[in-house]
Chain A
């Protein structure tokens, strides 16, 4: 690739291609979210750009802006959706999108302490933050039984998140951080993995969630002789090693309150599984028109606090809603097979061509 454009485009290309090669987009549904955002003709990009302009004018520091996002993976996925919108928009406002892209990457670069686009890890805590977590947490010893129950709690929460955010943007409420080397505290070959489920009570999106008793869950787990990597988003986790027999320590926090007895973990797991089942049924009942609208609502909801910081309403604009109204869209992503890396970076069908074009 040429050197005329910033290095992050190469990093993005490597991470995005690697992640997509292991995904099966044709299974994503029940509406093709790509088609939805591709119909917007720059309307959401304009809304984000307007917010950036206001935020810059107000003089907020990047660390204050970064706090408006629930986790780094939110931006890692929101960004390609913005690219897909740009790809399809005519005429293209190159200068506007370049500013949006650079600002998104600036925030993400602040949030991710290394490996900005999570090619293989999701490191968003400083060494000092990890040291504080290690020293201030009242760690509980791991064993097979609790490892199984934590797996179920994870599954229940992950399912709840999918029932709230669909296949479109689940990472806004489901992040996995790590691996952090914690050998100094827990012995050789130990890693810390942090599973965070923020925004599990999005009442603005789903008034039904008023009934949910909790809004935020964190599961801290220390493993020995387990390797962890992730692809582009933290929740695309891949482990090598036995998670059940190698759990050294754990700690669960629900809305800031430690919840570590096996009985409580089971109770939470059953509770979230039940709500996830109910919410799935609500989700499944949405009509196609409602689903299309929901894609836009969830896309905007990722920027909820960002728009708030800018003094703007978070909802999709009238223009966005008009752009998708009564437009026919497929149920699933229409990409059967992901291309080779060489083809991927050169083809105008994909993201990199358009990112490079911003600098021509």
Chain B
């Protein structure tokens, strides 16, 4: 099997591994395109993204720390989370299939 390619690194904020399709989220306007099991990618999560966060398989953000909103909420949801990935919203594109390793703080293209 070919080795998976790490395309992003950040702070490991919530343990676990999940695979899914990337959805770049800017706000509530994205809710209709977001499906159960998608990977929520945002500069930073906001309360307006709550419905999408409840559906997400994992969360990746450009900013944040281990007690930032996406990190706290992901741990409670039991989903992987990588914060402070800096360029996630630039590197990742809608529709990409990725694996998020919240324990290592890494995102892989699959």
Interfacial residues, chain A to chain B (CB-CB below 8 A): 19, 22-24, 26-27, 147-148, 150-152, 154-156, 158-160, 162-163, 231, 235-239, 242-244, 269, 273-274, 276-277, 279-281, 283-284
- Do the beta carbons of A280 and B46 come within 8 Å of each other? yes
Please, what's the 1-or-0 string for B49-79, where 1 marks a CB less than 8 Å from any CB in chain A?
1110110000000011111110011011110
From known contacts A22-B65, A27-B63, A242-B15, infer whether A280 and B48 are also in contact, taking CB-CB under 8 Å: yes
- Do the beta carbons of B46 and A151 come within 8 Å of each other? no
- Do the beta carbons of A159 and B50 come within 8 Å of each other? yes
- Do the beta carbons of A27 and B44 come within 8 Å of each other? yes
Report whether over half of chain B's contact residues are helix, strand or loop; otherwise say mixed. Answer: helix
Judged by a CB distance under 8 angstroms, whether B2 is at the interface is no
From known contacts A19-B67, A22-B66, A280-B48, infer whether A237 and B72 are also in contact, taking CB-CB under 8 Å: yes
From known contacts A154-B76, A156-B54, A236-B72, infer whether A162 and B47 are also in contact, taking CB-CB under 8 Å: yes
Judged by a CB distance under 8 angstroms, whether B109 is at the interface is no
Instruction: Give the top 3 A-B pairs by smallest Cβ distance, nearest first.
Output: A280-B48, A159-B50, A244-B78
B44: nearest chain-A partner, CB-CB: A27
- Do the beta carbons of A277 and B76 come within 8 Å of each other? no
A154: nearest chain-B partner, CB-CB: B76
Interface core residue of A26, A150, A159 (most chain B CB under 10 Å): A159
In the bound assembly, the distance between CA atoms of A151 and B74 in angstroms comes to 8
B68 contact set on A, CB distance < 8 A:
23-24, 27
B69 contact set on A, CB distance < 8 A:
158, 162
In the bound assembly, the distance between CA atoms of A251 and B63 in angstroms comes to 34
Apart from A155-B54, A155-B76, 8 more pairs, CB < 8 Å? A154-B76, A155-B73, A155-B77, A158-B69, A159-B53, A162-B46, A238-B67, A273-B50
In the bound assembly, the distance between CA atoms of A155 and B35 in angstroms comes to 17
From known contacts A147-B78, A242-B78, infer whether A277 and B50 are also in contact, taking CB-CB under 8 Å: yes
In the bound assembly, the distance between CA atoms of A226 and B76 in angstroms comes to 12
Contact of B72 among A19, A150, A235, A283 (CB under 8 A): A235
Contact of B54 among A19, A152, A163, A242 (CB under 8 A): A152
